[in-house]
A = this chain, B = another copy of it.
Amino acid sequence: MGKLLFNITMTLDGYVAGPNPTINDPLGEGGEAIHDWVVKLKSWQESHGMSGDGETGPSDDVVRETVANLGATIMGRNMFGGGPGPWGAEPWQGWWGDNPPFHTPVFVLTHHPRSPLVMQGGTTFYFVTDGIESALRQAQKAAGDRDVMIAGGAATAQQFLSAGLIDEMEIHLVPQLLGGGSRLFEDLGQSVPRIDLVRTIPTADVTHLKYRIHK
């Protein structure tokens, strides 16, 4: 069985999305800019079906390494595609277009049952209504020996962190302050895990910090 991984971009003041998200602006005010470091990378552009003449270098290597052994993805319903539920007669197919950038089975946590949604490029969305542990079991079965990735958002990551299920977490720390929005480390309650710093990769516009999480 592979590892359960989680990685996310976070501002110095701890935010992973800006304030006042809307259906047209799901990352909130200022939330898109925190991902500027990744959007310009060759690996990111390739996974998003773009021509891929983006930047290479240490950050590109980090992104490439993350997805190299990926077998399945888990995300919250808002990350699949927020907005009013349930799915309706002509269902919303999410934010991600016809060829989503995941290229694996994706297990979406939701309260609303729905049949699997097969997209182009290897992504199939499966909708899981019985909680995070069920989603993890299904994802691990689909992934086989490969890793499973928690793609986000913050609330989903918090649930997996609090439950002590994540093996490795990589924080892409960007030199920005948002002053409001969704905090990654919030509502962990008494379930605060011990973490070890595994490696640091410094670059001019983002610091990649990988942690092992004690169980």
Residues of A bordering B, CB below 8 Å: 12-14, 171, 173, 175-179, 183-185, 188-197, 200-202, 204-205, 207, 209, 211
Contact = CB atoms under 8 A, between A and B. Distances in A.
A211 B171 contact: no
Stoichiometry, as copies per complex, reads 2
> Shortest 5 CB-CB distances between A and B: which pairs?
A13-B185, A200-B202, A179-B192, A175-B197, A14-B14
B192 A197 contact: no
A7 to B, nearest CB: 14
18 contacts: A12-B185, A14-B14, A173-B173, A175-B209, A175-B211, A177-B185, A177-B188, A177-B193, A177-B194, A179-B185, A179-B189, A179-B190, A179-B191, A197-B204, A197-B207, A201-B202, A207-B207, A207-B209
A195 B12 CA distance: 10
B200 A13 contact: no
Contacts of A201: 202
A24 B58 CA distance: 46
Contact of A14 (B185, B192, B204, B205): B185
B200 A12 contact: no
Contacts of A196: 175
